[in-house]
Chain A
Amino acid sequence: MTFFLITSGIKILVVFTVLMSGVAFLTLVERRVCAWMQDRLGPNRVGPFGIFQPIADGLKNFVKEETYPALADKALFILAPVASFVPALLTFAVIPFGAPLPTHWGDVPLVVADLPVGFLYILALTSLGVYGIVLAGWSSNNKYALLGGLRASAQMISYEIAMGMSTVAVLLLAGNVAMSEIVGRQATSVLQWNVFPLTLAWFIFLVSAFAETNRLPFDLPEAEGELIAGYHTEYSSMKFSMFYIAEYSNMVTASALMVTLFFGGWDIPFTSWDNAAPWSLLKSVATIAAFATKTSAFLFLFIWVRWTLPRFRYDQLMALGWKVLLPLALAYLTVVATATWYLHAVLHWTYDARFSTVLFGINVVLAVALFVGLDRGRLISGSWETRKA
């Protein structure tokens, strides 16, 4: 018990610190990558390559003036940044980030809390994130902030359904809701990474994750052309910074979640050395590195997409969520459930590489049909530059 308490305490401290410094670093990476995509250099003055820029930004936010709108609901106004910040961090608690670390007193699982209901916990907490934004919008007593908050809540609730549906498919394959089990189930071969047997679920999850984290092209809650800054219009100083940190923590969590659910978690591909029982420090470090690499790749995708795509119109956003993603997720779930039932119960296959390859084949067929359909559809129509010389 003492061992559990001490290791948990240390894990919480380490994960919190790494997550916070990661988020700080991510703000810099976002600005640098954005600059590079626009043929600029970005912030490179504070320290070598600008790596101390986040510290300078943080200091600036600390010394700025705290403003309170005269008619704001003060208690909720202060509570709102906390309410959006905390769930973003808490979600990370159930994400396993490495192979167990052996110590003199026993193995330490590298996850803050290996909850048996890990996945349900994530669904519950990501929904809580909406409250911070709605409360911020409402308590500011500002019409633009309120509109931003309402938009955010409508958007997050809409996409939460598609997101939940897409991940049910993962649970079907894993047969468990504990995150460590979901990772363990994908560890045996690369073909069993859920992205192969469940490609479309991953696609739905990816789109929903963009919407859930309020990132472009889904950043309507803070559409500055219409809503000034959306729900955090009235916030200044460190309270504004909290929203900012929450947004980036959400990004990190969404990326880590995507890696855990669809890309094998901390599994190192093409080897089973890292999944076998004699645990060592080297294995832990290597798997943590693998996890960090995969997560960073998704973080880069988030940034890349943000600096490429323009924002949706609100009716397009709602149409995509309700008319495309939700029916798609439901239909897909039916197909996957039928296929797994058929393979399990009729053909008596066990879940192995052959099983997932067959599912991957089904996915390829469905994906081709889906993308041809989406390509022809006018639902979210992009404009195409005229290529006439």
Chain B
Amino acid sequence: MAIGVKTMKRPTQQTSYLRATLSGMALTFKHLLRPKVTMQYPEEKSAPDWTLSGRWRGTHRMLTDEQGRAKCVACGLCPQICPANCIKLVPGEDENGNRYPLIYEIDEFRCVFCGYCQEVCPEEAIHVGVHYENSEYSRDRFVYDLERLCSQTHPVSTLWDPTDPKGE
């Protein structure tokens, strides 16, 4: 060996290039005929052995009460805890002294989808959603306002439950 390659002493059946080649080719041919694992995305979005986890944290959704108003009471906890500082909240107060959000905007580009807003929310109003198809034609369409957050219909994330870590 001109370039000083160390040759290991191994039994013949381990070092035969011919046998390794033939068994390799048999293997690839077997795979050629096997059922394929590809999921054809736009048409199929889930398969029997693959669905999106219920703990998936995607774009947000604001839940509403029976009158169709946002459940948010503008307590200010979610902009406080948000590590990406992507929630803009301006609180307002009606004549009965109930607080409600005048402006509630989430910049989905800044968001890191940690789910803290959902965890911290005392009214279970803001949620991260089980959803991943978010394309838009312009950047400013990614700042979701209150109306848009309320009109989302996708399922909301269950998040990770420390008392049930495996989701059972």
Contacts and interface: CB of A to CB of B under 8 A. Distances in A.
A384 B20 CA distance: 6
B36 A304 contact: no
A381 B38 contact: no
Given A375-B19, A382-B16, A33 B32 contact: yes
Given A41-B40, A315-B3, A375-B12, A382 B21 contact: yes
A60 B40 CA distance: 23
A39 interface: yes
A1 B33 CA distance: 53
Contacts of B20: 382-384
Contacts of A33: 32
Contacts of A315: 1-3, 5
A307 interface: yes
B13 interface: yes
Given A40-B37, A380-B17, A307 B28 contact: yes
A384 B21 CA distance: 10
Most A CB contacts (10 A, CB to CB) among B13, B25, B40 go to B25
B24 interface: yes
Contact of B21 (A307, A308, A313, A376): A308
B29 interface: yes
A381 B7 CA distance: 10
B24 A40 contact: no
A38 B31 contact: yes
Nearest to B26: A308
B31 A39 contact: yes
A123 interface: no
B7 A37 contact: no
A172 interface: no
A52 B15 CA distance: 44
B139 interface: no
Contact of B18 (A36, A41, A371): A371
Contacts of B40: 41
Chain A contact-residue range equals: 20 to 34
B36 A382 contact: no
Contacts of A374: 16-18
A324 to B, nearest CB: 11
B34 interface: yes
B14 interface: yes
Contact of B36 (A36, A308, A384): A36
B14 A39 contact: no
Interface string A285-317: 000000000000000000011011100010100
Contact of A308 (B2, B19, B28): B28
Given A304-B29, A315-B5, A384 B38 contact: no
Interface in A356-385: 371, 374-376, 378, 380-384
Given A36-B32, A39-B36, A383 B3 contact: no
Contacts of A309: 21, 24
A37 B3 CA distance: 35
A378 B25 contact: no
A382 B3 contact: no
A40 B36 contact: yes
Interface of B: 1-3, 5, 7, 10, 12-21, 24-25, 27-29, 31-38, 40
Interface of A: 33, 35-41, 304-305, 307-309, 313, 315, 371, 374-376, 378, 380-384
The 9 A-B residue pairs whose C-beta atoms are closest, nearest first, are A382-B20, A381-B15, A382-B17, A384-B14, A41-B38, A380-B17, A308-B28, A37-B28, A308-B24
Given A36-B31, A384-B13, 12 more contacts: A37-B29, A39-B38, A40-B37, A41-B36, A315-B2, A374-B18, A378-B15, A381-B7, A381-B16, A382-B15, A382-B17, A382-B19
5 contacts: A37-B31, A39-B31, A305-B25, A381-B17, A383-B14
